[in-house]
C-alpha cells in the first residue's frame, strides 16, 4: 500500500452543477471553485478524433498516441525543489453518472468477450465500442475528463495534498489556426476501485492495450480521476496581426 502524505489530505466536499461550483477542503481551509464546461473547440476535437482516419492503425494512434488525447498534467509539488510536477496522462471524455451506470455491465461484458481472442481480430470491435460511447452527446458529461492512476507516484501524492491541477492540450488541424492549445484548470477527484466510474475508466484505458500493462506488482490501478473543469485558457499559437514570417 502506498503511504499517504504526512500533510492532511484535501477533500472535495460538494459539487453543485446548478450553481456551477466545487467546494473543497484544502489543507484545512474551505474553498469554493467555479465549475465550467469543456470549451467547445476542445470538446468537438476530442469527440471527432477518429473522423477521417484512413484505417484502424491510424484510429489506434489517434486514441493512444496523439497529443490531443495525451495532455500534460501539472500538479503542485510542495516536497520537491521545483514547485510543479508534469506528467503525460491519457484522458477520455466520460459519460454522465446515470448513463455510465446503465452502460457499465454492457462494457464489461464486451471486454470479457475479447479475452482469449487475438488482439488484431478484435480491434474493429473495440473501435466500434469506443465510438458507440461518443454517439449520444446528451450522455457525455461536459464538465469533466477522466483518467486512471497507474503507479501512485508524484502526481498521485501531489493530488492527495492539493487537487488543483492543470491539463495542457495541444493538437493540429487543417483549419486556421493550425495549432490549437488549451490550458484546462481542474479540481481532481479520486475515485476508488469498485466504483462504476473507476470500472468505466479502467475499461477505456485497457480497451486498446495489446499487452498487459506494467503495474509494478499491483493488481489494478490505484484510482481513477475525475478532472472537474474550473476554467480554461486558450494557448493557441497564432500569428500576430501585421506580422509576416520570413
pTM of the model: 0.89
As a whole number of angstroms, the distance between CA 92 and CA 97 comes to 15
HEC secondary structure over the chain: CCCCCCCCCCEEEEEECCCCEEEEEECCEEEEEECCCCCHHHHHHHHCCCCCCCCHHHHHHHHHCCCCCCCEEEEECCCCCCCEEEEECCCEEEECHHHHHHHHHHHHHHHHHHCCCCHHHHHHHHHHHHHHHCCCHHHEEEEEEEEEECCCCHHHHHHHHCCEEEEEEEEECCCCCCEEEEEEEEEEEEECCCCHHHHHHHHHHHCCCCCCCCCCCCCCCCEEEEEEEEEEEECCCCCCCCCCCC
pLDDT, position 2: 38
As a whole number of angstroms, the distance between CA 170 and CA 182 comes to 7
As a whole number of angstroms, the distance between CA 246 and CA 132 comes to 46
What pLDDT tens digit does each residue of the chain (246 aa) get? Answer: 334 445 567 889 999 999 999 999 998 899 999 999 999 999 999 999 999 898 888 998 899 888 999 999 999 998 889 999 999 999 999 999 999 999 999 999 999 999 889 988 999 999 999 999 999 999 999 999 999 998 888 999 999 999 999 999 999 887 776 889 999 999 999 999 999 999 999 999 988 876 545 444 445 799 999 999 999 999 987 654 444 444
Number of Cβ within a 10 Å radius of residue 107:
20
Amino acid at each position: 500500500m502506498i503511504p499517504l502524505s504526512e500533510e492532511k489530505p484535501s477533500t472535495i466536499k460538494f459539487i453543485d452543477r446548478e450553481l456551477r461550483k466545487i467546494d473543497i477542503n484544502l489543507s484545512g481551509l474551505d474553498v469554493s471553485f467555479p465549475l465550467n464546461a469543456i470549451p467547445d473547440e476542445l470538446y468537438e476535437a476530442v469527440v471527432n478524433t477518429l473522423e477521417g482516419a484512413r484505417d484502424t492503425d491510424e484510429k489506434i494512434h489517434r486514441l493512444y498516441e496523439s497529443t490531443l488525447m495525451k495532455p500534460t498534467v501539472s500538479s503542485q509539488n510542495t516536497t520537491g525543489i521545483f514547485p510543479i510536477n508534469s506528467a503525460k496522462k491519457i484522458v477520455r471524455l466520460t459519460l454522465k453518472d446515470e448513463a455510465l451506470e446503465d452502460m457499465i455491465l454492457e462494457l464489461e461484458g464486451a471486454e470479457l468477450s475479447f479475452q482469449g481472442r487475438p488482439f488484431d481480430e478484435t480491434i474493429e470491435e473495440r473501435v466500434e465500442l469506443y465510438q458507440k460511447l461518443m454517439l449520444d452527446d446528451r450522455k457525455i458529461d461536459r464538465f469533466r475528463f477522466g483518467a486512471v492512476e497507474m503507479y501512485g507516484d508524484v502526481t498521485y501524492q501531489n493530488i492527495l495534498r492539493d487537487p488543483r491541477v492543470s491539463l495542457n492540450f495541444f493538437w493540429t488541424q487543417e483549419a486556421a489556426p493550425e495549432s490549437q492549445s488549451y490550458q484546462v484548470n481542474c479540481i481532481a477527484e479520486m475515485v476508488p476501485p469498485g466504483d462504476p466510474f473507476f470500472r468505466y475508466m479502467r475499461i477505456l484505458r485497457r480497451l486498446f492495450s495489446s499487452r498487459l500493462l506494467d503495474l509494478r506488482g499491483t493488481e489494478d490501478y490505484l484510482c481513477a480521476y475525475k478532472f472537474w473543469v474550473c476554467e480554461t485558457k486558450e494557448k493557441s499559437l497564432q500569428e500576430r496581426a501585421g506580422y509576416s514570417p520570413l
